[in-house]
Structure 1
Amino acid sequence: MNPNFKGVYAVAVTPFKEDGSFDFEAAKKHLDWLIENGVHGICVLGATGEYQSVTNEEHKAYVKEIVPYICDRVSVIVGASRERPEEVVELVENIKVCGGHAAMVLPPFYCHPSQDEVVAHYKYIMDHVDFPVVAYNNPGSAGIEIEQDTFKELFKLSNTAIVKESSGSMQKLTEVLIDAPESVSVFCGCDNLAFESFADGAVGWISMLANVAPRDCVDLFESVYDRKDLTHGFEVYKKILPALNVLESFPKPVQALKYALKSKDLGGGYVRRPRLELSEDEKAFVDAQMHLESLK
């Protein structure tokens, strides 16, 4: 385990105003609440943060405003995925200057890179900026899985600090845990495999649900990973599993989280196009399936 990276990181939503501009006041209110409720870290501009829908200049502006606001209180990971590694380097340099602690990077998406191209992508980034990197395995989003031998090559790169494993396969998570050196932390990236991941040895969680249930998520992690209290941990897991399942299966998880935050008066804000706000029927589904009133 990398001692700098452990625990529950809420992959925070990015609140927008109705006109599509950043709502910094709402973002800060939400981040303050997350920190007050015990999260170990924050992940800014991940997929839940709609990174795909902001330009490079907007990305840098948001990081300049938000990262210095929280980086002295919690560990901060910032999403920096782009197809071109030159653009990733540009974003990571800004994250570094602003006080972030790591950059989360997917393999190049849509172009279906070969495994040697995946290694070359990460190597180019690390050769051009000296900063901790989260190697993010999410074949559903990137269209490419980081294979076992590829991970072994990434583990040889000095700035590979974390793996976020989001394939949905416990076999894959176990494989990564076995191969990872002591300098690398392996995180759960699949919300409805959290209990199993911590029991297997994952030392952290980049969590969607933590946006609206930070105390429950921290309780689950600390019970299972830190205290080895599987009985209590499983009780927490059973309570929040319906919400975790919604976030991993409902086609509009960002909207669901922002709706939940608004219902708790925590400033979720609007989504940015091409996303649309939830319909009344979708809101009713979220209310019924996520049991928002029971989350804490």
Structure 2
Amino acid sequence: MYAVTVTPFKEDGSFDFERTKGHLDWLIEQGLQGICLLGATGEYQSITLEEHKTFVREIVPYIRDRVSVIVGATREQADDVIELVNNIKLCGADAAMILPSPYCHPAQDEVVEHYRYIMERTEFPIMIYNNPGSCGISFERETFRKLMALPYTAMVKESSGSIQVLRDVIEDAPENVSIFCGCDNLAFESFADGACGMICMLANVAPKCCVELFDAVYNQHDIAKGWEIYRKILPGLNALESFPKPIQALKYLVTRKTGNGGFCRRPRLELTLEEKAYVEDLMKADQLY
């Protein structure tokens, strides 16, 4: 179980490394097996290439000896991705998570070529990321097969929202490629179908419950126990996949829990008092602690 972590900023928009480290320390203490930095939840779209590299240089060495570390490295231009991945590699992370170019809506053959080009120039484990909502395209089954045959494909994060797509990917995956759930509110179903990991938003605020869910369903094969845990946290999982400001919601709840949520970077604004109350009710926040 990996948390795709929020990135705490100071009110002036600079990185808040003190709160970042405090949040990561707490997550690791709660039993998470992995941390995914600078995914969409980490506001990677709102930082520059140099800021990304600075953050990775500061944070990856801080946690890499305690937990598995994946770092998001999505950018529109492949050569920018390569620059980021080579820095991630240098800093000692375990893998880089990459979406196809988010804005150009590439064709299926262009998707495969994008990853091949990056892998040839980095020689580093890559998490392939299928998320139609973020990049406007969905991988076809044959595209998944071609991507999983590339030499540095280590993992696939499947975020289409379709259990059938996930099943097909699991069925087609070679032994050396791990398949991860990428939809918070399909966690139970994904583990039951054989997904061996998850990149999870809710783990920022309910890490123990998320770890327990994965352990019950995937490791113990205890469906009844897993369903009981799942029902408890499902309001939070559903909310993060439907509420239009999931990053702000997470940062608010992290701050409410540990004080380490920090601020968002513009153009995101902090939640209003009414939105905070709505989030607490929608996510059944008191059940998460």
- Same fold per superposition (TM over 0.5): yes
Which of 250, 260, 274 in structure 2 is aligned with 1:257?
Answer: 250
Deviation at 1:203, TM superposition (A): 0.1
Distance in 2, matches of 1:266 and 1:66, equals 19
Hey, what does 2:152 align to over in structure 1?
Answer: 159
Deviation at 1:291, TM superposition (A): 1.7
Is 1:128 the equivalent of 2:121? yes
The range that moved more, 94-103 or 147-156, is 147-156
Deviation at 1:130, TM superposition (A): 0.8
One-letter amino acid matched to 1:177: I
Structure 2 unaligned regions, length at least 5: none
Deviation at 1:146, TM superposition (A): 1.3
Hey, what does 2:286 align to over in structure 1?
Answer: 293
Distance in 1, matches of 2:195 and 2:149, equals 20
Structure 1 segments, 4+ long, off by >6 Å, are: none
One-letter amino acid matched to 1:282: E
Is 1:218 the equivalent of 2:211? yes
Once the two structures are superposed, the pairs formed by residues 75-224 of structure 1 within 5 Å of their partners are 75-224=68-217
Q: Sequence identity, in percent?
A: 66
Deviation at 1:155, TM superposition (A): 1.4
Distance in 1, matches of 2:191 and 2:257, equals 28
RMSD over aligned Cα, in angstroms?
A: 0.6
Deviation at 1:84, TM superposition (A): 0.8
Structure 1 unaligned regions, length at least 5: 1-7
Deviation at 1:265, TM superposition (A): 2.5
Give the structure-1-normalised TM-score.
Answer: 0.97
SS at match of 2:252: helix
Distance in 2, matches of 1:114 and 1:293, equals 45
Deviation at 1:250, TM superposition (A): 0.2
One-letter amino acid matched to 2:97: M
Distance in 1, matches of 2:20 and 2:85, equals 21
One-letter amino acid matched to 1:140: G
SS at match of 2:267: coil
One-letter amino acid matched to 1:279: T
Is 1:279 the equivalent of 2:272? yes
Distance in 2, matches of 1:106 and 1:125, equals 12
Give the structure-2-normalised TM-score.
Answer: 0.99
Distance in 2, matches of 1:245 and 1:71, equals 30
